[in-house]
Amino acid sequence: MSNMYDLLPPFVTSTVLLLLLSFPTHVLSSPQTHISTITVTSPPSTPSRSPEFASDSLFTSAVLNSTNAYRVQHSAPEVMYNSTLSRFATAYLSSVEDSCTFAHSGGPYGENLALGYPDVAASIDAWGDERRRYNFDKPGFGEETGHFTQLVWKNTTAVGCGRVECGEGKGWYLVCEYWPRGNVIGAFDEMVGRPVQGIDMGSGAEMTRAGWRACVPVIVAVWVFLS
């Protein structure tokens, strides 16, 4: 079982915290602890029909545009879109599609989840806007900021996401995988950059509408802490 700090749109919230004391040695050789939290909020009553959820190319572009919009604001290199990560996220969603269970996959990657947002940019904004609560003068992991720190983690080079439309008015379920995974304890000062001076600190959606484009090649959230 794995869970993490993840978002759904506003109102009811519950939190789950889990520690896993080991991790497959074929992924990382150092012993690790996974700390995860899930924050669940009631989704909107009407599922989104955003075109980017229906089109693979629009979906990929939206993920990269919004993700890299936040990363450039914090001196992090652009990530590439990775098909292996995307297939993993999609396969996981297929396994929970009937129930749309909002929980971590337990996979070897960094992972952010969102449910019920109207489009990709709004989902990623929910993660990125956590920076308003991040203390750059005292960098470190926080349950309220873990999605943001994974999003802009400088050492992360690839992202891949999957999505599925849930029934009963729950809307779209978005899962994004990151590699190398972020939120490594002891590395926040180096890996989470302060806001770049002179850069618009608007949301990823605002940056995309303004025409900022990323290069395209390639919350439950999973966080790894090296012991």
pLDDT at residue 51, as a whole number: 81
CA distance 208 to 220: 25
| The pLDDT of residue 4 is above 60 | no
Is 6 part of a structural domain of the chain? no
Is 7 part of a structural domain of the chain? no
DSSP string, 66-96: HHHHHHHTTTPPPPEE-HHHHHHHHHHHHHH
For residue 99, give its domain range.
15-226
Is 8 part of a structural domain of the chain? no
Q: 79 or 46: whose pLDDT is higher?
A: 79
Q: 136 or 42: whose pLDDT is higher?
A: 136
Q: How many domains does the chain have?
A: 1
Q: Tens of pLDDT along 188-225? A: 999 999 999 887 666 655 554 443 333 222 233 444 43
Do residues 47 and 170 lie in contact, with contact meaning Cβ atoms separated by under 8 Å?
yes
Is 2 part of a structural domain of the chain? no
Is 3 part of a structural domain of the chain? no
Is 98 part of a structural domain of the chain? yes
| The pLDDT of residue 44 is above 70 | no
Is 184 part of a structural domain of the chain? yes
pLDDT at residue 205, as a whole number: 53
pLDDT at residue 64, as a whole number: 98
Identity of residue 216: V
CA distance 75 to 152: 8
Q: Tens of pLDDT along 139-194? A: 999 989 999 999 999 999 999 999 999 988 889 999 999 999 999 999 999 999 99
What CATH number does residue 108 fall under?
3.40.33.10
Is 70 part of a structural domain of the chain? yes
pLDDT at residue 60, as a whole number: 97
Do residues 103 and 184 lie in contact, with contact meaning Cβ atoms separated by under 8 Å?
no
